[in-house]
Structure 1
């Protein structure tokens, strides 16, 4: 039985990883800046040891990592910026190295190692490069586009008008994965280090065109949904980073071998987009007040 530190434990990826590890019988040290938040309390009820840790506070990281065997590391530029993400990622990985952890699993992004020109992919690529210099045994798990984002933001706003508003052509495929599968795969890598150390794995659970996504949402939400391609200029007015990402999705795309992953690791319990969509409470989501612009 391992004691595994999980950063971002109250977020989507960290939370899913913590729950998968707890379900497998491991000790989880859930690291969060907000140990009294509802998501942190929920993990505590499941058996996690919740500790305060801040990526901008090295002493808090050292204290939280002390006595752990390995680390699930997640970083984000959203809410800050890519330079901050890189600085925080370096601080976290240096703490793991100084504490001589036996294994670090870092969650990046599919294709982040391919010079995409997407700012929040490039920041993760820089953290990956630093990880390789620390001397700590490492694995990089690199998810494709998150299914969970389809239950919020543009998608949810569009569904209220029977539209799947998405900045990609109708016939362009996109590889997708839910946070639950990211957590399951990360837990697999953390608990089988001999198999995964030194590997970088792009992961996805399904692949659909934008038109196919609209069709699944039609069935799951119980309302007619038509795809509308959002111009990249409209996205760019909101975020240059996201516009770069969707531009990449719509041209190069994220080629992840979903079938090979399913064959190699059936224990992950991979979910199709239809599986994920059927599990969402669309009436409640659609009834929630729309976000303010």
Structure 2
């Protein structure tokens, strides 16, 4: 990848946000260098089949990052706390930022979460703020931050255990009637591509990428209207769920319930969606997304 090429180095390329970014960029004719620890994995090979260049690197190995950044001017960075832990996420995020600084990257798009405020009490939100501030305040990198809401895929993707999580514990803790912000993973990829295509507009900005606001009850009703059946849910005792999945998810859902109780996002829905459409004009609503899943046989 030459420095003058229309190319992007994509971290997390076999995950949700990075994978969506890689696929969308490839579809638009960009050159994608996909970072993976295992180039032979099924997901990595699927990206290679679409035209991605695979590069083996580890965010905990700065030397491997130096090679991955060779000839790169644009990068999408995202880390996964569920794999590395929150301290590992901070460490890896800083390693990527350091490599970007050394390489002279002209635009870094960072996949974040939460509301961009420190000390929420949700570790995997707070650690992202640490990385954001490091990139901007300490390194002075040209950064755009994208913050999606809960993925719509939580409702259907088996990797997220929908009966237990989205349709079981989430409404139990957050409530069936509480309006929630939602984001389709494909929309994240589209937004990232749009941002890279217009760096002058987006460098230095944060994007709260929310595609819809809907309660779990409304999501349940939409699911039934489209599939003809209610989604199956299992509500376990919280203590048992914590033993199975760890306390992080419950901590996040409880924070979300408190945050939404103090902030009327229904009242702000129009403004939120308008701001998000600036980055991704074709945002999916929950109903639109469920229909697309149904048509694609994901339901």
Q: Which residue of 1 aligns with 2:155?
A: 150
- What is the Cα deviation at residue 129 of structure 1? 1.0
Q: Distance in 1 between matches of 2:219 and 2:238?
A: 19
Q: Which residue of 1 aligns with 2:278?
A: 264
- What is the Cα deviation at residue 282 of structure 1? 10
Match of 1:16 among 15, 20, 39: 20
Q: Distance in 2 between matches of 1:25 and 1:48?
A: 11
Q: Which residue of 1 aligns with 2:53?
A: 49
CA RMSD of aligned residues (A): 2.6
State the Cα deviation string for residues 43-71 of structure 1 (Å, max 9, x = none): 11211111111101111111111101200
Q: Which residue of 2 aligns with 1:244?
A: 251
How many residue pairs align between the two structures? Answer: 282
1:52-201 alignment to 2 at 5 Å? Answer: 52-132=56-136, 133-151=138-156, 152=158, 153-157=160-164, 165-166=169-170, 167-201=173-207
Q: Secondary structure at the match of 1:79?
A: helix
Q: Secondary structure at the match of 1:135?
A: coil
- What is the Cα deviation at residue 226 of structure 1? 7.8
> Contact 2:163/2:233 (CA < 8 Å) preserved in 1?
no
- 1:260 and 1:235, CA in 2 relative to 1: closer, same or farther beyond 3 A? farther
State the Cα deviation string for residues 186-207 of structure 1 (Å, max 9, x = none): 1111221100111112111011
- What is the Cα deviation at residue 214 of structure 1? 1.2
TM-score by length of 1: 0.87
- What is the Cα deviation at residue 283 of structure 1? 11
> Contact 2:210/2:273 (CA < 8 Å) preserved in 1?
no
Q: Which residue of 1 aligns with 2:292?
A: 279
Q: Distance in 2 between matches of 1:283 and 1:64?
A: 35
Q: Distance in 2 between matches of 1:236 and 1:156?
A: 16
Task: Kindly indicate which of the two structures has a greater share of residues assigned to strand.
Answer: 1
Q: Distance in 2 between matches of 1:82 and 1:35?
A: 25
TM-score by length of 2: 0.85
